[in-house]
Amino acid sequence: MRSKIAIRTAILLVVLLSSSPSSGTINLPSGIENPMPLRFPQLLTAPAPSWLNESVRATYSVLASSSETEHFENKNLGTGQTGNGINQLDVVAIENGQVAILNEAYAPGAGVQGYISAAGVQGALRPLVETGSVATVGCGDFWCSPAVLQNISAMANNNGLTVQRLPYTAGDAKTYQAIRFDFINNDLQIALVYDLDTGVLLYHTLDYSSLNPVGLNNVPISGSRNAQYQFLNLRQVEIPWKDGRAPSWLGVGQSMSYQGQMSIQVQGASPMITPSALQMSVVAAHNRFVDMKLDIYDQSTGTTSSSGIVRGAAQLMGTWIPKEALATLSPGVIDTDPDTGMKVSVVQNDANGVVFEKTNQVDFKELYAYDLDGKLVQAYYEYNPWVMTSSGFGSVKTIMLQLVE
């Protein structure tokens, strides 16, 4: 049962984030476009909150659900699933009024019975999917300028928007003086609650409903998706370098291709090995960050999935690290996240380059190897153990990718 819950959680969170628009769109933690700058365009030129700096991380707990109902002539048959996890949004660069944001979703694995993460999620957390966006300092994925919010008046159903001021107790158990926005547009409802003092997004929910009148075998099918995001905390991630710029080899039109294999070794069976490949292409280049398109090739289906991502100078486990920082890095822990349990360390620094490790300290780790130019040349991922059957057989899943030049 635990493995089924973990898989449901993963599917729900991936579906939410993978629907994200391009990286040039101001999004919300759920990955959908933020309606605030569309309704209040003054946010686009508003001043930044005082706390907005590079390497700031916002953490949200996530509860997601979906349902589907087949409408037969004499009865309805419905199915549903729920899942929970964590979303973290990192400010990886700020430049000329633009903010590059990395959004990463985490869900619990199925391998460790009884483990509860620091954020209260059952099961050790593993990274699932990431997306990127580029916002303005006045409005981003998890904030709006308090200078603008404080001047927005309450309103009731003004062209599908209701605004009210109220005290709000967030996921960190603190009570804030807040402002709530409820957007209703046909089949989509979005609620946003911001702290009036800091502009931080405290709560976000979305409800989406759909109807397919000619579903499978011409049976009408209705469905719904719901997700709730609760603010947990805001903190500064430890970055062992202060300066740095995007390298010249990440110019517009340039790409980085990685190839390798995925292996799943089930106890008592031969390993299942399939090819793996991905490519990151630069869409826009700046001094401190780049917008990229990520293409992941799925050998089993023969399809390619694409998403927008960002890579910035104030980022751990990215596509590059500043060349000047290589000589300053010594083996040891750089940052430990209190909510996901993820620990990032330098595990090797020699004549070949630097190797970083990211691990939940339970059943997941990834290793990134950088050459002497600071370029990511190899990535290794390991999931161990992953309970796959009711009889308790475990497996080790590994992915090895190598830069192809």
Domain borders along the chain are 2-236, 255-404
The reported pLDDT for the residue numbered 7 is 37
Q: Which two tokens stand for residue 217?
A: 């075998």
Give the DSSP letter of residue 2: H
Whether 313 shows a pLDDT value over 70: the answer reads yes
The reported pLDDT for the residue numbered 270 is 85
For tokens 């595990």, name the residue. 347
Judge if pTM exceeds 0.85.
yes
Q: Which pLDDT band, with edges at 50, 70 and 90, does 54 fall under?
A: very high
The reported pLDDT for the residue numbered 190 is 94
Whether the bond into 213 is cis, omega within 30 of 0: no
Q: Which two tokens stand for residue 19?
A: 């629907």
Contacts of 179 by beta carbon, 8 Å cutoff, 6+ apart? 149, 152, 163, 164, 165, 166, 193, 194, 196
Instruction: Report CA 20 to chain centroid distance, whole Å.
Output: 10
Q: What digits encode the pLDDT tens for the residues 57-109?
A: 999 999 988 777 666 667 667 676 778 899 999 999 999 999 999 999 998 87
Asked if 84 and 65 touch (Cβ cutoff 8 Å), the reply is no
d(CA 44, CA 253) in angstroms, rounded, equals 28
Cα torsion 382, 387, 393, 398 to 10°: value is -10
For CA atoms 309, 315, 319, 320, the dihedral sign is positive
The reported pLDDT for the residue numbered 108 is 85
Average pLDDT of span 372-393: 78
d(CA 400, CA 405) in angstroms, rounded, equals 16
